[in-house]
Amino acid sequence: MARQEDVEAAIVARREQVNDAIERELPVDEPEELYEASRYLMDAGGKRLRPTMLLLAAESLADVAPQSTDYRSFPTVEGDEIDVMRAAVGIETIQSFTLIHDDIMDDDDLRRGVPAVHREYDLSTAILAGDTLFSKAFEYMLDTGAKAERSVAATKRLAQTCTEICEGQSFDIDFESRAEVTTDEYLDMVELKTAVLYAASASIPAQLMGAEDAVEPLYGYGLDVGRAFQIQDDLLDLTTPSEKLGKQRGSDLVEEKQTIVTLHARQQGVDIEGLVETDSVEAVTESEIDDAVAELEAAGSIEFARETAHDLIASGKDRLEVLPDNEPRQLLAGIADYLVEREY
């Protein structure tokens, strides 16, 4: 089993390389403002978890020692070479595109500690920056040097993934105005909105490298881990101190955002709308949040969310058995654990 510090070191090391690749692949060309805005959120931070997952899956499939091999000329199962880093950059640009457009839709002001793109620039520039990252991602995915039929398979997966992300976001918006959403419906939405991009990240290297047998198991690993990631996000809002979260703890409750915890509690008969009376994040008190969390705990809802996340992580890790037993595989299992053990 990979130790947590090894997992974190693996993420940091790959993040640096992904950032270098983003600088090379997405230079600030003319029109300058468009490309600055396209880069803005990526330059502001981010863990690069999805590209890291992609690179680790590639390393495990090629059965090479971690970071022993140039990602730009990476061996496939037949020994020819592909640029697997370009695929990783494609995944990150899709992630960044969805954040930029989601922040507009959710009217969020901040992201990664900086103004959202539509606040730093304006609405038009943000829409256009997202669209640019969207099409760039397809350019990258089609330019890895993989055999044509493999490029087609990987790019189809990317396109279907993007469609599903849109569907998930649409369900999420719809849920905000629907009284009765079940935890199953919620998990289906999370699968589309969040998990499919993890699934694409983990499985696309298998498609590009010709490791057919590993495609579906790795896709399943990504789906499980991605769903667990969102559940953990929902939990962190309730359980992590505000200082650590970087925003008010319990803000989901104040804003009456539906999460797996509140949806479970409602199914248990808890009056969710009445949990927190204060209706602004600025005015709510810690003790009001404490009382609400205690009620959710009493309903078994926090435990339900924790168990669901842990079951998903266990299932995801099982699927990794399709990979050769090597260090990159251990790190992929470690990332799964990391996602539900992280505190922010």
Residues that bind its own copies (CB under 8 A): 30-31, 33-34, 101, 104-105, 123-125, 127-128, 130-132, 134-136, 138-139, 142-143, 147-149, 151-152, 155-156, 158-160, 162-163, 166-167, 169-171, 173-174
First-last CA distance in the chain: 23
Backbone angles phi, psi at 114, to 5 degrees: -125, 165
Q: How far apart are CA 120 and CA 112, in angstroms?
A: 13
Quick one: 13 or 166, whose CB is closer to its own copies?
A: 166
Q: How far apart are CA 223 and CA 251, in angstroms?
A: 26
Minimum CB separation of residue 141 from its own copies in Å reads 9
Minimum CB separation of residue 193 from its own copies in Å reads 11
Q: How far apart are CA 256 and CA 33, in angstroms?
A: 36
Minimum CB separation of residue 169 from its own copies in Å reads 6
Quick one: 31 or 300, whose CB is closer to its own copies?
A: 31
Residues contacting residue 168 through CB under 8 Å, at least 6 positions apart: 189, 190, 191, 192, 193, 194, 196
Query: Could you tell me where the DSSP H helices lie in the chain?
Result: 4-25, 32-44, 49-62, 84-105, 117-120, 123-141, 148-176, 183-190, 196-209, 212-239, 242-245, 251-254, 260-267, 286-298, 301-319, 327-341
Minimum CB separation of residue 181 from its own copies in Å reads 13
Structure-block tokens of residue 163 = 């469609």
* Rg (alpha carbons) of the chain, rounded to whole number: 20
Q: Is 124 helix (H, G, I), strand (E, B) or coil?
A: helix
Minimum CB separation of residue 26 from its own copies in Å reads 11
Quick one: 31 or 246, whose CB is closer to its own copies?
A: 31
Quick one: 26 or 275, whose CB is closer to its own copies?
A: 26
Quick one: 47 or 145, whose CB is closer to its own copies?
A: 145
Q: Decide if 40 contacts 117 (C-beta within 8 A).
A: yes
Quick one: 171 or 221, whose CB is closer to its own copies?
A: 171
Quick one: 101 or 319, whose CB is closer to its own copies?
A: 101
Q: Decide if 92 contacts 22 (C-beta within 8 A).
A: yes
Minimum CB separation of residue 35 from its own copies in Å reads 9
Quick one: 170 or 278, whose CB is closer to its own copies?
A: 170
Of how many residues is the chain composed?
344
Minimum CB separation of residue 195 from its own copies in Å reads 17
Minimum CB separation of residue 214 from its own copies in Å reads 20
What's the longest Cα–Cα distance across the chain? Answer: 62
